[in-house]
Amino acid sequence: PVDFSGTWNLVCSDNFEGYMLALGIDFATRKIAKRLKPQKVIEQEGDSFSIQTTSAFRSYFVQFKIGEEFEEDNKGLDHRKCKSVVTWDNDKLVCVQTGDKKNRGWTHWIEGDQLYLELCCEEQVCTQIYKSA
Ligand code: RET
């Protein structure tokens, strides 16, 4: 099976602005956030994951087990609570974030030495690529 564990640095990001707009992130925060190069530290042990996204401005931490619904607070992002659940779709890690926003969630996968993250909210899709640190 795939192992996402490691330290990953953002190398490119497409339509993060659209994603943030869909989440209702304010102008000042968007201005700062779009210039950030976050780092992800992923720890995967069996079906348990922790993902720490760190940036110079704000950070976000999430912890989950595959198939177990959890309450996500989205603290530091849009602060909307979601019922989230992460499952495997073949070798992709797929999170569905059920709450006020339609079509909210993300998918992680690995291709070569790159970690991909697709973030969705409403009609917006943001694609990010991370490289192993
Ligand atoms: C930052 C900076 C402040 C504004 C926003 C941010 C976005 C963070 C996101 C994190 C996603 C985490 C995921 C974890 C699981 O893999 C960078 C904290 C909006 C979108 C998908």
- 130 in Cβ contact with 114 (< 8 Å): yes
* The overall pTM is greater than 0.90: yes
CA-CA distance, 41 to 117, in Å (whole number)? 13
Residue pLDDT, tens place only, 11-61: 999 999 999 999 999 999 999 999 999 999 999 999 999 999 999 999 999
Dist. CA 75 → ligand 1 center (Å): 10
What one-character-per-residue DSSP string does 53-67 give? EE-SS--EEEEEETT
What one-character-per-residue DSSP string does the chain give? -----EEEEEEEEESHHHHHHHHT--HHHHHHHTT---EEEEEEETTEEEEEEE-SS--EEEEEETT--EEE--TTTT---EEEEEEEETTEEEEEEESSSTT-EEEEEEETTEEEEEEEETTEEEEEEEEE-
Does the beta carbon of 25 sit less than 6 angstroms from any atom of ligand 1?
A: yes
State which of 61, 77, 97, 109 you would mutate to test the pocket of ligand 1, scoring each by most atoms of that ligand within 8 A of its C-beta: 77
- Cα distance between the two ends of the chain: 21
Ligand 1: residue whose CA is nearest its atom 16? 51
β-pair partners for 84 = 70, 97
Dist. CA 41 → ligand 1 center (Å): 13
What is this model's ipTM?
Answer: 0.92
Residue pLDDT, tens place only, 81-109: 999 999 999 999 999 999 999 999 999 99
Provide the pLDDT confidence category of residue 1 given band limits of 50, 70 and 90: confident
CA-CA distance, 85 to 69, in Å (whole number)? 5
Ligand 1: residue whose CA is nearest its atom 7? 77
